[in-house]
């Protein structure tokens, strides 16, 4: 924690701007060594939250016979100065340097950010001079870890940073931002405060009475425990949504050949992604795409139609369809509504009975001949569409949304648990509460109940990081990228 860390904070590749970030007590002296400013000032003299134009140089030893680097004003070129000597061939890049002084910075330490041109060589060279000037390469997530250890953010907020970076849809982003703003921390602190009230009730009994808890008090304590329990349960309930936001939902389009599966994929993607043709067996290899459906990331796959395989390729295609079908969280089972159900369709209906299915009756622009009643009896959800006429697609999207996002959770208000560690802690907390309730019912001694409540509170404290083991911290921040 006492050394100064540095890392490239932007992704490696080519781009407009690349950023190298430094944090720690020697940030400003290090910047003094490698930065030559246009304004003649030194980073150690700069005010906080200021940005300065200049150059990063390999070393600050002057080379006498230097001309001024390109990009400087003609007026400056006429009057060589001390700065000019440093701007020799030693210049690595033209940059903007931002100074954020402790404690009002991301890490609560002095921070310098160097915004340079984003090229692999430029960034590496600047990082090299920063390191040789006295900084150490940061570990993954070390900036955010310092923000946590220095008390700027709690652990759930630090973890939210990762959710924000990894968000796959706007809904995922909103959830991450809410947690970053402290929604989860507040909820956890609220729960802990409630637990503390119950503990106070209990301890009043320990202090002032030799008697057992009266039935009235027992009832009151049980009620308070139930309230906390209910809140923890609600948080755990949101975890299924959290998992969806984090990992997405696997959707597979399955059906007989030629029913319009590829047409459906294209319609949902609003792009001619898959080949569509009247020939049965057009799609061979499954085609997988990511679709943002009302903020839910869908991994949607169009598969080869189910037909009696005529050759090796069709056999292989069928195998792949099978594998996608097994892995899917949701199956869109497509039928040609203009034809009566065949043996193959019936076999598919049977096969899909153990999966979550939406029956999709396509080609509804034609005369409908399919046995609708049978479809409705087999599946709780069915939607009539025509990909040719672009009909019924909104209803299908809504049906998909309702199926995967059950419970009408209004994402803008609710806290959504997305993190496996939080789920584990909440489950442990719930277990401890149950034990407290059991002890209460058994009329166990007050100390027992108090102990369980304290255990519950400790599990909650793990979420915000008030209590945390070093190896868990390492694991959490190890998942971050270097430079964050």
Ligand X SMILES: Nc1nc2c(ncn2[C@@H]2O[C@H](COP(=O)(O)OP(=O)(O)OP(=O)(O)O)[C@@H](O)[C@H]2O)c(=O)[nH]1
The contact set with ligand X (CB under 6 A) reads 255, 257-263, 276-278, 280-283, 304-305, 362-363, 365-366, 386-388
What are 288's strand-pairing partners?
301
- Residue 382 binds what, of Mg ion, ligand X, none (CB under 5 to 8 Å, by partner type)? none
Compute the distance between CA of residue 323 and CA of residue 295 in angstroms, rounded to an integer: 26
Q: Which is nearer to ligand X, 194 or 388 (CB)?
A: 388
Q: Which residue's beta carbon is nearest to the bound ligand X?
A: 305
For the CB of residue 189, give the shortest distance to Mg ion in the complex, in Å. 53
| Per-residue binder mask for Mg ion (CB under 5 A), 224-263, x = binder | -------------------------------------xx-
Strand pairing category for 111-118 and 15-23 = antiparallel
Strand pairing category for 91-100 and 50-57 = antiparallel
Q: Which is nearer to ligand X, 366 or 482 (CB)?
A: 366
Compute the distance between CA of residue 183 and CA of residue 311 in angstroms, rounded to an integer: 57
Instruction: Characterize 327-362 residue by residue with b for buried, 16 or more Cβ atoms within 10 angstroms of its Cβ, and e for exposed.
Output: ebbbbbbbbbbbbebeeebeebbeebeeebbbbbbb
- Residue 43 binds what, of Mg ion, ligand X, none (CB under 5 to 8 Å, by partner type)? none
- Residue 278 binds what, of ligand X, Mg ion, none (CB under 5 to 8 Å, by partner type)? ligand X
Q: Which is nearer to ligand X, 99 or 259 (CB)?
A: 259
- Residue 277 binds what, of Mg ion, ligand X, none (CB under 5 to 8 Å, by partner type)? ligand X
- Residue 362 binds what, of Mg ion, ligand X, none (CB under 5 to 8 Å, by partner type)? ligand X
Q: Which is nearer to ligand X, 54 or 260 (CB)?
A: 260
For the CB of residue 344, give the shortest distance to ligand X in the complex, in Å. 12
- State the number of binding residues for Mg ion (CB under 5 A): 4
Q: Which is nearer to Mg ion, 181 or 270 (CB)?
A: 270
- Residue 462 binds what, of ligand X, Mg ion, none (CB under 5 to 8 Å, by partner type)? none
For the CB of residue 479, give the shortest distance to ligand X in the complex, in Å. 39
User: How distant, in Å, are the alpha carbons of 180, 249, 290 from that of 240?
Assistant: 20, 11, 20
User: How distant, in Å, are the alpha carbons of 19, 98, 431 from that of 52?
Assistant: 14, 6, 55
Compute the distance between CA of residue 40 and CA of residue 179 in angstroms, rounded to an integer: 43
Compute the distance between CA of residue 35 and CA of residue 112 in angstroms, rounded to an integer: 11
Compute the distance between CA of residue 306 and CA of residue 321 in angstroms, rounded to an integer: 8
- Residue 151 binds what, of ligand X, Mg ion, none (CB under 5 to 8 Å, by partner type)? none
User: How distant, in Å, are the alpha carbons of 253, 288, 383, 394 from that of 295?
Assistant: 20, 18, 21, 15
Give residues 257-316 in contact with Mg ion (rule: CB under 5 A): 261-262, 282-283
User: Which residues contribute to the site for Mg ion (CB under 5 A)?
Assistant: 261-262, 282-283
């Amino acid at each position: 924690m006492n050394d100064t860390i540095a890392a490239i904070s932007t992704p490696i590749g080519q781009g407009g701007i690349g950023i190298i970030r430094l944090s720690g007590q020697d940030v400003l002296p290090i910047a003094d060594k490698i930065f030559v400013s246009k304004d003649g000032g030194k980073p150690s003299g700069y005010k906080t939250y200021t940005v300065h134009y200049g150059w990063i140089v390999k070393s600050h030893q002057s080379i006498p016979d230097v001309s001024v680097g390109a990009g400087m004003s003609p007026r400056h070129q006429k009057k060589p100065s001390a700065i000019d000597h440093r701007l020799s061939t030693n210049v690595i890049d033209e940059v903007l340097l931002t100074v954020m002084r402790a404690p009002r910075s991301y890490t609560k330490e002095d921070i310098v950010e160097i915004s340079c041109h984003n090229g692999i060589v430029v960034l590496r060279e600047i990082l090299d001079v920063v390191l040789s000037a006295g900084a150490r390469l940061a570990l993954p997530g070390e900036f955010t870890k310092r923000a946590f250890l220095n008390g700027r953010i709690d652990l759930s907020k630090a973890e939210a940073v990762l959710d924000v970076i990894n968000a796959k849809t706007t809904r995922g982003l909103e959830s991450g931002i809410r947690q970053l703003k402290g929604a989860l921390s507040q909820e956890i602190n609220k729960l802990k405060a409630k637990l503390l009230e119950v503990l106070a009730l209990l301890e009043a009994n320990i202090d002032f009475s030799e008697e057992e808890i009266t039935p009235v008090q027992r009832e009151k304590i049980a009620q308070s425990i139930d309230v906390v329990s209910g809140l923890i349960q609600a948080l755990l309930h949101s975890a299924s949504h959290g998992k969806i936001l984090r990992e997405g939902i696997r959707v597979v389009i399955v059906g007989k050949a030629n029913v319009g599966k590829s047409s459906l994929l294209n319609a949902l993607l609003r792009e001619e992604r898959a080949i569509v043709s009247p020939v049965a067996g057009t799609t061979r290899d499954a085609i997988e795409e990511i679709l943002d459906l009302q903020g839910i990331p869908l991994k949607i796959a169009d598969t080869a139609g189910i037909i009696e395989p005529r050759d090796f390729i069709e056999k292989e295609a069928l195998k792949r369809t099978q594998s996608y079908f097994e892995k899917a969280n949701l199956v869109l089972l497509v039928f040609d509504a203009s034809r009566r159900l065949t043996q193959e369709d019936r076999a598919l209906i049977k096969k899909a009975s153990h999966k979550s299915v939406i029956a999709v009756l396509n080609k509804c622009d034609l005369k409908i001949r399919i046995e609708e009643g049978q479809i409705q009896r087999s599946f709780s959800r069915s939607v009539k569409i025509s990909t040719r006429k672009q009909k019924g697609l909104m209803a299908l999207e809504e049906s998909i949304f309702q199926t995967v996002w059950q419970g009408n959770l209004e994402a803008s208000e609710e806290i959504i648990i997305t993190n496996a560690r939080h789920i584990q802690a909440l489950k442990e907390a719930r277990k401890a509460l149950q034990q407290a309730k059991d002890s209460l019912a058994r009329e166990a001694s007050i100390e027992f109940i108090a102990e369980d409540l304290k255990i519950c509170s400790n599990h909650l404290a793990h979420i915000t990081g008030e209590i945390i083991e070093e190896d868990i911290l390492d694991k959490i921040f190890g998942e971050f990228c270097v430079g964050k």
